[in-house]
Chain A
Amino acid sequence: RKEVEQDPGPFNVPEGATVAFNCTYSNSASQSFFWYRQDCRKEPKLLMSVYSSGNEDGRFTAQLNRASQYISLLIRDSKLSDSATYLCVVKGPFRGAQKLVFGQGTRLTINP
């Protein structure tokens, strides 16, 4: 079983739609969780951290369910510029340097 699993998609949705991505992780001792965004042929960039109580950043909402080892990302009122691959990322537990485990990503295309 992969440490971090995501539905690879692709997801094709019309502009203005709401889209949700899911991610599961296998290590129950994982400490921190993030969503990164990666545009085509570019480096991944941090989109948002995921907190236990859930958190929102504009049109983006992240949720964490530790009991089910499940993370989600909701994008409301999607824009053309939201087209990208979204990476689910899990940290820890490790000694020494921080290590992150990346999901393979979910590809999203927003259509006009």
Chain B
Amino acid sequence: SQTIHQWPATLVQPVGSPLSLECTVEGTSNPNLYWYRQAAGRGLQLLFYSVGIGQISSEVPQNLSASRPQDRQFILSSKKLLLSDSGFYLCAWRGIGGPTDTQYFGPGTRLTVL
């Protein structure tokens, strides 16, 4: 069966510091992968998605970037964090085919920028 991992689970970073969040998927190959952010009291915002190694599409202009160095690895980065980057970051993979062709989320990383 497929599983998705994210780390770290929790992170507290100062404004202006760099960021690297990692997501890995097991039990599937060439998955579509997604990064979302959920700010406090708000809905999920799609940040990036990837259909394959090295292929990244950005949904929202911001100071974040994403990379996919391996088939089942998706990384979210920033060179300099802003206060507004605080939130719950969720990685998801797409389960293709059938009625459950939808997205499944990892446990998330809770980021606080101070």
Interface, chain A (partner B; CB < 8 A): 32, 34, 41-46, 49, 51, 87, 89, 91, 96-100, 102-105
**In the complex, what residues of A have CB within 8 A of residue B34's CB?**
97
Partner of B94, one of A45, A49, A87, A98: A98
* Inter-subunit contact B105/A91 (CB<8 Å): no
Which residue of the partner chain A has the closest CB to B52? A97
Cα distance A99–B32 in the bound complex, in angstroms: 10
22 CB-based A-B contacts, threshold 8 Å? A32-B101, A32-B102, A34-B102, A43-B106, A43-B107, A43-B108, A46-B100, A49-B100, A49-B102, A87-B44, A96-B51, A97-B32, A97-B49, A97-B51, A97-B57, A97-B94, A98-B32, A98-B101, A98-B103, A100-B46, A102-B43, A102-B44
